Amino acid sequence: MKITFPHMGTTYIPVKMMLDELEVEVVLPPKSNKKTLELGTKYSPEGICVPFKIITGNIIEGIEQGADTVFMLTGCGPCRFGIFHALQNEIIRDMGYEVEFITADRFSNYQGLKEFVDQLKEASSSNHYIKILKTIRKGLKLLNEVDVLHDLGNKIRPKEINKGEVDYLFSHYENEIRKSYGYIEMMEITKSYQEKIKNVSINKSRDCLKVGIVGEIYTIIENYINFNIERKLGNMGVEVIRTTSATEFVREQLDFIPFIRSEKKKIYQAASLYLDIPIGGHAINTIGNIIRGVHNEYDGFVHLLPFTCMPEIVALSILPTIEKEQNVPIMSLVLDEMTGEAGYMTRLEAFVDLIQRRRELKNEGKSFSWY
């Protein structure tokens, strides 16, 4: 059995490690790129959101490289994500490939978790439950460390003295991690790069703008579709705070287990002023994270969403009111396969200029209102 799975930012690292540990052969599709998107767009329905298109492209590329099984998360909620696998199954079938889909339902209760474990057991026929559970624990640990590394990079990047040093380290990190195998090796590499990034020489006195990135999780995490927004903003001298990460997402799913804690309750509490129930997707997280960010004195927010994303459209209609009432600038960027990088850059630069000026005025003590 050769198994492939779609990309979502750096989540491929722990997933590959887990499958490595369970001694399943993994076909890692190439990182999402233009060809992936073109392939995905060609075979996907016209009106579906861009995450679907890229994921479909990933799967097709994985199959072309020889995979015969696809591992895909599903879910059950108002968002389209839960139905991705069924539609992709049909698309792949109509293309003439014979592949099997292994799907794991969102593991938000013990039964779901058990199904997930059973699926893993099926994929790796010779392993015991204990080993699988241990592997899942290792996976969560590595996922956490990878996200820590990522956030560290975001913190250091705007302050670095030699421009481009963090980016250089990151590209080396990805090269090395792609060649590595298993938990111990991957963990070692991740830890060593955390140290390396910590040792990058920085200008401590520099006062950076703080911008929170909110919105739909795939567009936040997948660097290809958001044109490396963290890197771009970081190199403009802005400290970027990712409000949603893969770790946080998994924790939110698993927080029914007593010793796993997530920020879910706090986020919902913060959002309740504007939206008091979760409506699927990450709409409530978007609202809640903005309010929390306002309390932490972020200078602005960039709201990322794929075109036609249903939950985020609801959030989008609430944002103007939040902007006005909380007196904070928010820029929404709608992403799809037609988004051009140049227009995107222009808007980002303009946004950064605006919040820069806004902060200067604030520091000079002039009264200033966004409206």
Partner 1 sequence: MSKIGLPRGLLYYEFAPLWTTFFEALGAEVVVSPKTNKKILDDGTRYCVDDACIPVKVFHGHVLNLKNKVDTLFIPRIMGIHQKEYICPKFCGLPEMIKYSINDLPKMINTKIDYTKKDQSKRTMNQIASYITTNKKTIQKAYQMANQSYTEYKKNQKELLISNNHNIMIMGHPYIIYDDFLNMSIKKKLKKAGLYPVTYDIFDESILNKYALGYHGKIFWLFFRKMIGACLYLIDHKLVDGVIYLSSFGCGIDSVVAETVERNIRRNSQIPFMLITIDEHSGEAGFNTRLEAFIDMLKWRNKDENYLSPYGDYVYSR
Toward partner 1, which CB reaches closer, 23 or 122?
Answer: 122
DSSP 202: B
User: In the bound complex, what is the minimum distance in angstroms from residue 337's beta carbon to partner 1?
Assistant: 14
Asked if 100 contacts 70 with a C-beta cutoff of 8 angstroms, the reply is yes
The CB density around residue 42, as the number of other CB atoms within 10 Å, is: 11
User: In the bound complex, what is the minimum distance in angstroms from residue 150's beta carbon to partner 1?
Assistant: 28
Among the residue ranges 25-33, 144-152, 272-280, 357-365, the one whose residues contact partner 1 (CB under 8 A): 272-280
Pick from 277, 284, 279, 270: nearest CA to 326: 270
In the set 117, 148, 187, 279, which binds partner 1 (CB under 8 A)? 279
* Sequence-separated (6 or more) residues with CB below 8 Å from residue 236: 158, 348, 349, 352
Toward partner 1, which CB reaches closer, 115 or 165?
Answer: 115
Please provide the distance, in angstroms rounded to a whole number, between the alpha carbons at the two ends of the chain. Answer: 59
Asked if 102 is part of the footprint of partner 1 (rule: CB under 8 A), the reply reads: no
In the set 148, 187, 318, 354, which binds partner 1 (CB under 8 A)? 318
In the set 65, 321, 327, 346, which binds partner 1 (CB under 8 A)? 321
Lay out the site mask for partner 1 across 52-81 (x = CB under 8 A, - = otherwise).
----------------------x-xxxxx-
Q: Where are the beta strands (DSSP E) in the chain?
A: 2-4, 25-26, 69-73, 100-104, 209-215, 238-242, 300-306, 330-335
Among the residue ranges 41-49, 186-194, 253-261, 351-359, the one whose residues contact partner 1 (CB under 8 A): 41-49
Toward partner 1, which CB reaches closer, 117 or 310?
Answer: 310
Asked if 98 is part of the footprint of partner 1 (rule: CB under 8 A), the reply reads: no
Query: What amino acid occupies position 330?
Result: I
Q: How far lies 76's CA from each of 8, 83, 104, 220, 251, in Å? A: 19, 8, 11, 21, 17
Asked if 280 is part of the footprint of partner 1 (rule: CB under 8 A), the reply reads: yes
In the set 66, 164, 182, 320, which binds partner 1 (CB under 8 A)? 320
Query: What amino acid occupies position 67?
Result: A
Asked if 30 is part of the footprint of partner 1 (rule: CB under 8 A), the reply reads: no
Asked if 338 is part of the footprint of partner 1 (rule: CB under 8 A), the reply reads: no
Asked if 326 is part of the footprint of partner 1 (rule: CB under 8 A), the reply reads: no
Toward partner 1, which CB reaches closer, 140 or 275?
Answer: 275
Asked if 46 is part of the footprint of partner 1 (rule: CB under 8 A), the reply reads: yes
Pick from 133, 131, 72, 135: nearest CA to 106: 72
Q: How far lies 371's CA from each of 66, 317, 319, 333, 366, in Å? A: 56, 18, 14, 21, 14
Toward partner 1, which CB reaches closer, 152 or 279?
Answer: 279
Toward partner 1, which CB reaches closer, 65 or 327?
Answer: 327
Token pair listed for 84: 């991705």
Asked if 302 is part of the footprint of partner 1 (rule: CB under 8 A), the reply reads: no
In the set 314, 329, 339, 358, which binds partner 1 (CB under 8 A)? 314
The count of residues interacting with partner 1 (CB under 8 A) is 41
Pick from 321, 319, 342: nearest CA to 331: 319
Asked if 354 is part of the footprint of partner 1 (rule: CB under 8 A), the reply reads: no
CA–CA gap between residue 306 and residue 310 (Å, rounded):
9
In the set 83, 148, 208, 294, which binds partner 1 (CB under 8 A)? 83
Asked if 308 is part of the footprint of partner 1 (rule: CB under 8 A), the reply reads: yes
Question: Which residue is listed with tokens 């010779």?
Answer: 126
Pick from 209, 265, 216, 273: nearest CA to 241: 209
Q: How far is CA 105 from the centre of its chain?
A: 19
Q: What residues line the site for partner 1 (CB under 8 A)? A: 45-49, 74, 76-80, 82-83, 85-87, 89-91, 94, 274-275, 277, 279-281, 283, 307-311, 313-318, 320-321, 334
